[in-house]
Structure 1
Amino acid sequence: MCDALRRETVLGFDVETTMYTRVLCLMQIACADAVYLVDALAVTDLAPIAPILNDPTIIKVIHNATFERNTLRRYDLELDGVVDTLVVSRRLRGKNVGRHTLKDVCARELGLELDKTDQTSDWSQRPLSASQRAYAALDAEVLLHLHAHFGAPTPDSLFPQPRLPGT
């Protein structure tokens, strides 16, 4: 998986955790031709994914990246090269369009109604149900569609670096 992901330029990325303790249970990574579900409870060494997650040249499209960043830091994993679709939606649509949850953004922007029933399911139970796996995969895959819909923004276009005089 990591060898394949190193060749990608844009990834949809999401995580599932336990509800209250925020234990990382699952990482979902979507690329152009596959969606990977990484069982973080079974994989004891997440270090191989670290260079991909912190590579600024591979765009990670995430909805509400603050949650992913806070979760991954607990596992010594850092994110770089992030496009946060929550930030993009807020900047492009403002406050007058309603909420900016992933469900609302997908409905408004893509005409896609996401079933979020499994969002609060027990992600620590194994095996995961077919419904949980489908939900998790779609949450990562849909981020690639949102990224394209929003014009494929880059991290630099969201947070441009200030230019110093004379540069």
Structure 2
Amino acid sequence: MQVSQAGFPAPVIVSSTDDLAQLCARLKQEPFVTIDTEFVREHTYWPELCVVQLGGVSDVAVIDTLAPGLDLAPLADLLATESCVKVFHAARQDLEIFLHLFDALPCSIFDTQVAAMVGGYGDQVGYDTLVSAITGASIDKTHRFSDWSARPLSKAQIAYAAADVTHLRDVYLTLHRELEKQNRLHWADAELAVLNDPATFRPD
């Protein structure tokens, strides 16, 4: 296994259905997986999904959802696996995209932005701010507004995309542990209920 400089698995690009199926089969066996998306939304009501990032114990994957012939069914299956917690930060737009694509929300959602609010880190805290507060790491947000529909993806874009799910693992574990100690996990569950309701994301 290759390891990045930060100590996380080196990111790999996934652009074939077979590779995606193998990746998702591994991740389904894990207690949680970190997830993020990159998309463009300039010309359509619904966002156009360009990249999905997945982080596991031994996998950091950047899925090229625009790759010709790629079938996202293995990803849908992973998202529907109740035993694996799906960890997001500021999940609303990600969930909206998945609901539109698969006509179902992911099961077992955990949003670190919601958990951070419950844990006293402030309302709507940004990912880079939360990562810095919990891990001390600095996130380079230079590519936040990249054109994610352009191909090929640059090395810098891939590194940026990977960082959105690697540090999120440490953030999740810390927040979950802190909320357990504070006996506030049920508070977070109550706040997350709205994200588990498809009606939240339907157009009026």
Are residue 12 (structure 1) and residue 34 (structure 2) matched? yes
Structure 2 CA distance for partners of 1:133 and 1:94, relative to 1, 3 Å: closer
Distance 2:30 2:160 in 1: 23
Q: Gaps (5+ residues) in structure 2? A: 1-22, 191-204
Distance 1:12 1:40 in 2: 17
Distance 1:129 1:122 in 2: 11
In the alignment, what sits opposite 2:72? 46
Asked whether the equivalents of residues 28 and 81 of structure 2 are also in contact (C-alpha less than 8 Å), the reply is no
Are residue 124 (structure 1) and residue 149 (structure 2) matched? yes
In the alignment, what sits opposite 1:28? 53
Choose from 84, 93, 96 the match for 2:120.
Answer: 93
Q: How many residues align?
A: 157
Deviation at 1:94, TM superposition (A): 5.2
TM-score w.r.t. length of structure 1: 0.85
Asked whether the equivalents of residues 12 and 142 of structure 1 are also in contact (C-alpha less than 8 Å), the reply is no
Choose from 129, 141, 149 the match for 1:104.
Answer: 129
Residue type at the aligned position of 2:94: E
Over residues 21-55 of structure 1, what are the superposed CA-to-partner deviations in whole Å (9 max), with x where a residue is unaligned?
42000000000111011111115321121121122
SS at match of 1:36: strand
Deviation at 1:19, TM superposition (A): 4.3
TM-score w.r.t. length of structure 2: 0.71
Over residues 65-109 of structure 1, what are the superposed CA-to-partner deviations in whole Å (9 max), with x where a residue is unaligned?
1111101122115211111000011111154xx760101111122
Q: Gaps (5+ residues) in structure 1? A: 161-167
Are residue 72 (structure 1) and residue 94 (structure 2) matched? no
In the alignment, what sits opposite 1:159? 189
Distance 2:29 2:82 in 1: 13
In the alignment, what sits opposite 1:165? none
Identity of aligned residues (%): 29
Residue type at the aligned position of 2:39: T
Higher relative contact order (CA 8 A, sep 6+): 1
SS at match of 1:118: coil
Are residue 147 (structure 1) and residue 147 (structure 2) matched? no
Distance 1:19 1:137 in 2: 21
Asked whether the equivalents of residues 113 and 124 of structure 2 are also in contact (C-alpha less than 8 Å), the reply is no
Distance 1:104 1:94 in 2: 10
Over residues 135-154 of structure 1, what are the superposed CA-to-partner deviations in whole Å (9 max), with x where a residue is unaligned?
10110111111011113569
Distance 1:143 1:94 in 2: 15
Deviant stretches of 4+, over 4 Å: none
